[in-house]
Chains A and B, each alone.
Chain A
Amino acid sequence: MLTRCRKSWLRTNIKYGLIGLVLGLLVYVTQSAIANALKPIEYLIASLTFSTSISLTIANMVHFATSTKLLRNWENVWRNFTIYYLISFAGMIIAVELTYLVLGYFYNWESQFPHTKDYLFDSILVLVVCTLIYVDIYRKALQANKLNQKELELHKMNELRSNAELEALQAKINPHFLYNALNSIAGLIKDNPDQAEEMTIKLSKLFRYSINQSQENLVSIREEAELLSLYLEIEKIRFGNRVTFEVNIGAGLYTTKIPRFLIQPLVENALKHGLKYNAANGRLAVDVFAEVTDLVIQVADNGQPFASDLVLGYGLQSTFDKIQLLYGAHGKVELINSPQKMVQIKIPLAHV
C-alpha cells in the first residue's frame, strides 16, 4: 500500500514536472514572439522555474488532498470544484513567493513581497491548465463510477444465478404428475376403492419425501430407491404395462449417499420424452454401480435416441445443475445413444 502510494506520488511529480517545463517553454516562446526577438536566456530559466514550481506545488497539494480523502468523492461536483480551485490558487501563490525567494537569493534580485503583480498572469494560466486537468480527472472518475456500477450489476446477476442453482437443489415433485395422480384416484374411488386407498397412501409417502423436513441435500441410495419405487408403482396403476421397469442397485451401495431427488426426475423424463413414441413395449432400466472410484447411475430406455439438436428439458437441466453445484468438475452428466441409450451420471465415491 505504501509503495503503491509512493509510486503514484513519484508519477504525479514526474508528470506535473514535465507539464510545468512545457508550460514554461510555451510562456518563453510566447514572450519572445510578442517581442519579435528571442528573450535573453535568464527569461527562459525564470519562466521554466516559475511554471515548474507552480505546477509541482499544486500537484502535490492536490495529491495530498486526494490521499487524505478531502478530494475523493467525485460525485459531489461543486464541493470538489471549490476545493480544487482553492488549493490550486493557494499553491500558485505559495510557489510564486517561494521561487522569488530562492531565485532572489541566487541572482541577488531585489523585489517586494508579495508579488501581487505576477498573480494576474499566473492565475489565468493556472485557471486554464487546471480546468483542463480537472475536466479530464472528472471524466475519468465518472467512467470509473460507471464501471463500478456495471460490476455491481454483474455481481447481482451472479447472485441471482446461484439462487437459481440453489433452487435446483430443492427437491420437487412435478405438480403435473401430482394432479394427474389425484385425478386417477378420483377415477378409482368408485370402481376400485382398494386401489384408490393404496394409491393415496403411496402419493402421501412420495409427497412427504419431497417436502423433506430435514432439508438435507444428500440421502442414502436406499431412500432414493424407495422413492423411485413409489413413483413407479403409481405410474403402473395409471398406465398398466405400457412400460416395464427394472431397477438394479449394486451390492453394498444402499447406504451410499447421493443427491436427493436425483433419479426420479430422470426416470420421469425418460417416460415422457425418451419413450414418447413407445405406445407399448417400452423398457426402462435404472442401474447404480461402483466403477473404480466413481459411483455410476444410469437411466436407460429403449425409446428414440437423443436428437443432435437436443434442447434440455427441465429435468435434465436441473439434474446437471445439481451435479455441477455439488461436485463441480468431479461430477459428470452425459447423454449416450449407443450401445445403449441412457443418461449417465458419474460422481466420485470418495466424495459421497
Chain B
Amino acid sequence: MFEKPLGMRDTLPRLYETKAAARDKISTEIKKWGYQFIETPALEYYETVGEASAILDQQLFKLLDQQGHTLVLRPDMTAPIARAAASKILKEQVPLRLAYSANVYRAQQREGGRPAEFEQIGIECIGNGSISADAEMITLMADVLLAAGLKDFKISIGHIGFLQELFLSILGNEERASVLRKFLYEKNYVGYREHVKSLPLSSIDKQRLIAFISLRGGEDTISRALELLENSVGQETLTELKELAQQLKAYGVEEYVSFDLTLVSHMSYYTGTLFEVYAGEVGSPIGNGGRYDNLLAKFGWNAPATGFAIRMDRLVEAVGSVDENNETQCILFSSERRNDAISTARALRAQGKSVALQDINSVTNVDAYTASFAEVQFFVGNGDSKK
C-alpha cells in the first residue's frame, strides 16, 4: 500500500460513475437556467485570490513558483470566478450567469474523515443585486438537488444585514458587535448568553439580544424578528426576507426552506442573504451560498453578486445509492478469432454499448475478470459461446 497525503482520496469506478451521473443531472439543470460553465486554473496567486477567498488562511495549500511568488491551490471557486468575471470580456454581458464544476483544496489539520480535495458544483450570478437573484439561487439549488435525486433536504436562510443592524443599534459600535457575532460564528450560545449578561445594557436590550438566538423556523420567524426591533433600523432587511419568501412561494420551493437569522457562516464574507442546505444523514451542510457584494470590488469591479456551491462528496453521501449497474459488456477472444471479435465489438459500440475487448491469453483468472460485466461473449477457438 502506498499512502496518500492527509485528506486525499481516490475515486474508484463505481463511485466515479455515481458522481458523474449526479454531475450530469446537475449541470443539465444549471444550463437550463441559462448559466454558462467556465474553468479556471487550480493554482492562483495567494495575494489576490487566496486573500479574497472566504476560506481560512490555515486551510490553504500554499506553494512557491519559480520566481518565489506564493501560490495557492484554489480553496473555493467563487474568488477565481470573481477574478475571471472582472476581466473585460465577461463584463459586457451583465448580469453574468456563470457556473462551474471543479475540485477545490482545503488542508486538513487533524484526522481523516474529511477530504482535503473535493468537487464543488455551483453558480455565481454577478451584477444582479435584486431579491430576484437571491430567490433564483435558492430555487435553483433546490431544483438541482431534486434533479440529483435528493428528496429530503432543508435550506436554512439567514440575513447577515439584520443581525448586523440589530447588534449595532443595541451595542453602538462595530467592535462590540463583532465580539457577539464571533460567538454566533463559533456556535457558542452559552458564551453568547454569558457575554450579553455581562454587558452594561438595559434589561430590555439584553432580553432582545437573548431572544435573537431563537429566531429560526418558518416564515413567522420574520415577524418575530420584527418585534425585536425598536425603530426602523433593520426593517429593510426583514422586508427583503419577506419579499424573498414571497418569491420562493411563486417558484414553489417553500416546502424546502426555513429561516434562521442566527446563521453566520463566515465572519465577514457575506453581505446579505445567506443560506445552507442540510440533508438528514449527513453531519455537515451539503451546500451553501449567499450574497457577497464586496468581493468583486477586490478585483476592480464594483458589482453585487450572489451564488451557491454544492459539495459533491456530501451530496453523493446524502443521496446514498451507489450506481451498481455496470452496463459494460466483455468480449474475450483468442487470436484466431480476432477479426470476429473486433467486428462484433465495433457493431455493439455503434449501438451505443460499452464493450471491453480482451485477448483471453492475457487473462489469468477468467472467472474473476468476467464477474463484473453485464454480459460476456467468448470468441475462442472454433466455436462461439455465450455466457
Partners in one complex: no
